[in-house]
Amino acid sequence: MPQSLSQRRPVATVVTVQYLRAVAAALIAFQHAMGIPGFVNYTAHFGTVGVDLFFVISGFIMWTTTRDTDRGPGAFWIARIVRVVPLYWLFTAAYVMAALITPESFFHLKLEPSHIAKSFLFIPAEHPNLGVIAPIFTLGWTLNYEMFFYLVFGLSLLIRVPSVRFIALAAVFCSLVAFGIWLQPSGPILSTYLNPLMLEFLSGVLLAILAPHLARCGAMLGAVLIAAGVLWIGVVYGYDIGLPRLASHGVPAIMAVAGALMLEPLARARPSRIGLLLGDASYSIYLIHPFAQRAFLLVVLHTIGLGAISATVYIFSAFGIAVLAGVICYLVLERRVLALGRRLIRRKPPS
């Protein structure tokens, strides 16, 4: 008899966090579905909170998966490289190749070898077209933050006492942010690594430590906290309130993760196969959705034209295609790349 989904998944899997990973990827895909130039006059970028959700979740996952292990920095870094880098490099290479082969398919195009090299090496740099700090495959800016967090978190694993490790992490990230506030750096590297967004990772670590206590707070309080986070975003964009990103996006993201952890006992009793699958596929959805949505746009432009389709139909079609493409990418490509990478790092050298 086949095992149930909950039996097959690792015990450490937090069901509601998997759901939130799916929500984060969906928010970003929806955001970009509404951002087609000249098609939708869209100014409420609430979907960008998906990035902040990912950052908080990343801190949570890193602490949770290393808490009861004796893994050192090297093993941790190798595992994260295998998990993140190959797929990102594949899509970055695909983006560069597409830009070289079909430059007319891109709204903004200027390729500089040094910028491309920094993109592959996760070095923050100013985009030659857009004037913002972003790699050639622009959504990779979030991975520049992720890689720095992995670097610092991996070093913290040298500290074996969890409480002291958290204090060290808090001291490092709070100091970085304090220096950023003091120096007000303008260069791409310092303005990235001294950004207050680093505190979102630290918040995720703190929520991982508090998770057993949050799980006892009750589902009702968790639902209220998530609803409050949604309302927070609604008020920020509905009234166009100008707040620092940590306040406008980070706070509701932290509230959502905390609320999800309160709902975990209820969600774990009857996990959703679709929700867990979308959570597993969230990285693929994040990476492939610009390709899927651009392909859909080009098909529409060269067939019926944008004027023949309503904005609502277009947006939800582009969103659905992006999510579907992400799931297919996860099932067909990402799982195989991960399996190959894990086999390689587990292979012992010949004696």
pLDDT in tens, 288-300: 999 999 999 889 9
126: helix, coil or strand? strand
Look up the pTM and report it. 0.92
Question: Tell me, what's the pLDDT at 1?
Answer: 36
> Quick one: which of 77, 70, 83, 59 has its CA closest to 158?
70
pLDDT tens across 310-329, in order?
Answer: 888 899 999 999 999 999 99
In DSSP terms, which residues pair with 126 in a beta bridge?
Answer: 133
Return the biggest CA–CA distance within the chain: 67
Q: How far is it, in rounded angstroms, from Cα 351 to Cα 349?
A: 6
Number of C-beta neighbours around residue 301 at 10 A: 13
At 206-233, the pLDDT tens digits run: 999 999 999 999 999 999 999 999 999 9
**Whole-number pLDDT of residue 2:** 37
CA distances for 286 relative to 29, 48, 241, 314, angstroms: 7, 12, 27, 19
Contact 233, 90 (CB under 8 A): no
pLDDT score recorded for residue 106:
67
pLDDT of residue 6: 37
Q: Domain residue spans in the chain?
A: 31-271
Which residues in the chain belong to E strands, given as ranges?
none
Under-70 pLDDT residues of the chain = 1-12, 36-44, 104-108, 347-351
- Quick one: pLDDT at residue 107? 62
